[in-house]
Amino acid sequence: MKTDLEIQQDVINELRWQPFLKSANIGIAVKNGVVTLSGTVDNYAQKIEAEKAAKKVSGVKAIAEDIQIGVSPSYKKTDAEIAESIMGALKWHAAVPEENIKVKVENGNVTMEGQVEWEYQRNSAKKAVNNLLGVRNVINLINVKPKLTSFDVRAKITQALQRTATVDAERVSIQVEGTKVTLDGKVRSFAEKEDIEDAAWCAPGVIRVESHLELEPIETFTF
């Protein structure tokens, strides 16, 4: 298994590999496979990308994210300007039914409410806002309206896993109760875990995913 020091160095290298990030401003600490990210970035999108980059590293069990957003003058916008930018972004995003979404902006903190039919629409609405100048945080309160039966949802998730090259679908147990999906089983990497959870979130009507997927220990060989 990787040591905490090896995981830390791999996370540092992965952050440096991301051109969108100013990795020198991000601190990384690792204890028992749990990675803590700290420091300051210019915008919310960079904060999200730093977390995604750390999750890609093998051996990472969890992320504790404590990155702050120190908005530079070039990124500062009034709440009215941010709200106008958000409505424009939602309007031109093909995956988002913008007429069903309400937005509130307070000190750069964005709250989104409303109702959509699919989880990908909910996620797309948030992604459309993440990269906008002046946004400090996004609270996504958009609801997903369930349409299919639990049996239909489970079948669609299973089919999605079987189509995914990085996932061993036979090692995953899926339970569906109403709008909640529960996942159990063993995975080989954090990336595989995320792919399985993403497949569950993409199912129509799902508004909660409870994941009990466990990472298998990484074996190391000495010669």
CATH number for the domain harbouring residue 163: 3.30.1340.30
Q: How far apart are CA 96 and CA 25, in angstroms?
A: 34
Q: In what order do the strands lie in the sheet with 208-215?
A: 172-177, 180-187, 208-215
Are residues 9 and 54 part of one domain? yes
pLDDT digits (tens, 9 = 90+) for 156-196: 888 888 887 777 878 889 998 878 899 999 888 888 888 88
Is residue 171, in this structure, part of any structural domain at all? Answer: yes
Q: Mean per-residue pLDDT for 124-151? A: 83
| Per-position DSSP letters for the chain, written without gaps between them | ---HHHHHHHHHHHHHH-TT--GGGEEEEEETTEEEEEEEESSHHHHHHHHHHHHTSTT--EEEEEEEE---GGG---HHHHHHHHHHHHHT-TT--GGGEEEEEETTEEEEEEEESSHHHHHHHHHHHHTSTT--EEEEEEEE---S-HHHHHHHHHHHHHH-TT--GGGEEEEEETTEEEEEEEESSHHHHHHHHHHHHTSTT--EEEEEEEEPPPP----
Contact predicate 173/183, CB 8 Å:
yes
Q: Which domain holds residue 156?
A: 150-215
- State the average pLDDT for the chain: 84
Q: Is the pLDDT score of 221 beyond 50?
A: no
Q: What is the pLDDT of residues 57-85, one digit of tens each?
A: 988 888 988 888 776 565 578 899 999 99
Sign of CA dihedral 105, 107, 108, 111: negative
CA distance 186 to 168: 9
- Give the per-residue pLDDT at 41: 83
Query: Average pLDDT for residues 41-69, to the nearest whole number?
Result: 86
Q: How confident is the model over 138-142, as a mean pLDDT? A: 91
pLDDT band (50, 70, 90) for residue 212:
very high
Pick from 144, 161, 194: which residue ends a domain? 144
Pick the last residue of a domain from 70, 87, 114. Answer: 70
Is residue 222, in this structure, part of any structural domain at all?
Answer: no
Evaluate whether residue 221 is within a structural domain: no
In this predicted model, what pLDDT tens digit does every residue of 107-129 receive, in sequence order? 888 999 998 878 788 888 988 89
pLDDT band at 47 (very low <50, low <70, confident <90, very high): confident
Q: Measured between alpha carbons, how far is 156 from 154 in angstroms, rounded to an integer? A: 5
Q: What is the pLDDT of residue 19?
A: 75
pLDDT of residue 207: 78
Q: State the pLDDT at residue 147.
A: 63
Q: What is the pLDDT of residue 84?
A: 92
